[in-house]
Amino acid sequence: MDDLKGRDLLSMTDLSADETLTLLQLAADLKQGNIKPICRKTLGLLFYKASTRTRVSFFVAMSQLGGQVIDLNVSAMQIGRGEPLADTARVLDRYLDVLAIRTFAHADVETYAKYARMPIINALTDLEHPCQVLADLQTVQECFGQLAGLKLAYLGDGNNMAHSLMLACATVGMDMAIACPPNFTPDPQIVERARSIASSNGTQIIVTQSPQEAVSQAQVVYTDVWASMGQEAQSDTRVPVFEPYQVNRELLTLADPNSIVLHCLPAHRGEEITDDVLEGSRSRVWDQAENRMHAQKALLVSVLGTD
């Protein structure tokens, strides 16, 4: 996918609809075992936050493509002692071919992208999580054979997942309804941007306090933890606020009869989702987790090219 070669992925808005769909097709092809090797390429993982799926899926994806991975330990690097990000970015740029960063402030990945010539991949910030959403879209497409015209309902905190999902849904022609408590709504600027994109595609981005309204006739029901990384101290106070937004069997009766349930994991069973739903017939959570590897493999092939 030459159009993406050398480019960064910091936000879902970095991809057009055609680019997103082409990436998903490439991910599907790679999932079938059509490997496009990346010889003598090195991926750096610079993670300031804990990770299971993102770390392992990137590592396996790059290894299967024939490249190598360096898992950079922030605490053992000079940035852990105050070296400016701009300096670290320019040094790593001389060693690596691509860098995936998982951090808190979105401005940090923008700084790396500014000072490094190699592609920078946002592997999660507090603002967005585009790599997860590529896997989400791949999973939806596998289940329904299409994206355009479907409705996705998201319940819970208006966090980085909500942001990337609404931008992605708007881009590919899906309706999205976000149900969250009044003090936990998504960033208004991102909502406005998503609605602007959606209006050009004839779709809607709805923000509501009603989980019933959001889930009504939805083909995809999505949830995430109520307290993201860095918000653990707020967990006890958030639980009673978010309880009405739990994805459970009763709420799913309002969704499309053929709907699927997604969760980016890790899940707090009994909080944002019940155990019977997570393990139930509508859950596609484990396919979704697997697709992290395939979607990221397609992304790596696209931004690096093949030898």
Of 224, 282, 288, 296, the catalytic one is: 224
- Please, is 68 exposed, middle or buried when counting C-beta atoms within 10 Å of its C-beta (0-12, 13-18, 19+)? middle
Distance CA 155, CA 216 (A): 12
Cis peptide before 266 (omega within 30 of 0): yes
Kindly list the distances between the CA atom of residue 173 and the CA atoms of 39, 125, 166, 205, 306, in Å, as whole numbers in the listed order.
Answer: 36, 25, 11, 11, 30
Closest-CA residue to 210 (of 186, 239, 181): 181
Is 102 among the catalytic positions?
yes
Of 131, 143, 169, 264, the catalytic one is: 264
Is 143 among the catalytic positions?
no
Of 53, 55, 97, 102, the catalytic one is: 102
Distance CA 118, CA 8 (A): 8
Give the DSSP H/E element, type plus range, for residue 140. helix 130-144
Of 132, 141, 288, 296, the catalytic one is: 132
Of 106, 193, 292, 294, the catalytic one is: 292
Is 292 among the catalytic positions?
yes
Of 129, 163, 193, 282, the catalytic one is: 129
Is 132 among the catalytic positions?
yes
Amino acid at residue number 194: A
Residues 6 or more apart from 99 whose CB is under 8 A from it? 43, 44, 46, 92, 112, 116, 118, 119, 120, 121
Positions marked active-site: 102, 129, 132, 224, 264, 292
